[in-house]
Amino acid sequence: MNYKLKVLLCGSPYGEKTKLVNRFVQSKFNHNYKTNVGVDIFTKNVELKNNKSCTLSIWDIGSSSRFRFMRSTFYRGASCAILVFDLTKDTTWDEVKEWCNEITKYVGKIPIAYVGNHMERIEGIYSEKRNKFRNLVESSGNMYFETSAMGEKIEDIFSTLVERTVGTFA
């Protein structure tokens, strides 16, 4: 069986979500990405458990506030979302909560993965606050992950989100 999923990729520009999606889709890392202004769309085929496959259409939504008025049009038909924030900037944690509220308003309840980036920079920083945030995210039925700027664990993040999303179709 082949599934097709629309995955929203949203969050703070400090989270470097475009670098992460390029790492996942193209298996390469580049330090020189430019901020997108509206949306960039990536496609990747992934293999699931039980001989199933899935075609992902990943919509990297621009985070600039001046384009906020058009974001809701990009949300239509979304199956799940990844919200990326910077673990070293706790203000970005509030920003992803706003993204979650906005997505839920336009799409309804869908599986969401919160992804904290830059774990290589956080030794000893915000550990108590991070645990509270993780508990808040997971208690609302969403997923929480931490990754590095190099895209560590990015395959696991996508595969876990996709498996959970496909599981909602059963």
CA nearest to 95, candidates 50, 64, 125: 64
Number of domains composing the chain? 1
pLDDT tens profile 92-105: 888 898 999 999 99
CA nearest to 6, candidates 81, 114, 65, 93: 81
- Pairing state between β 53-61 and 112-117: unpaired
pLDDT tens profile 125-170: 667 878 888 898 999 999 999 988 676 788 899 999 999 999 887 6
Q: Cβ atoms within 10 A of the Cβ of 43, count? A: 10
- Note the residue count of the chain: 170
Based on the number of CB atoms within 10 Å of its own CB, is 91 exposed (0-12), middle (13-18) or buried (19 or more)? exposed
pTM over 0.85: yes
**CATH number, position 23:** 3.40.50.300
Structural domain span for residue 32: 2-167
Task: With beta carbons less than 8 A apart as the criterion, state whether 66 and 46 touch.
Answer: no
Backbone dihedral angles phi then psi of residue 44, each to the nearest 5 degrees: -150, 135
SS (H, E, C) 64-97: CHHHHHHHHHHHCCCCEEEEEEECCCCHHHHHHH
pLDDT tens profile 56-97: 999 999 877 777 778 889 999 999 999 999 888 888 888 898
Residue keyed to tokens 């509206």: 38
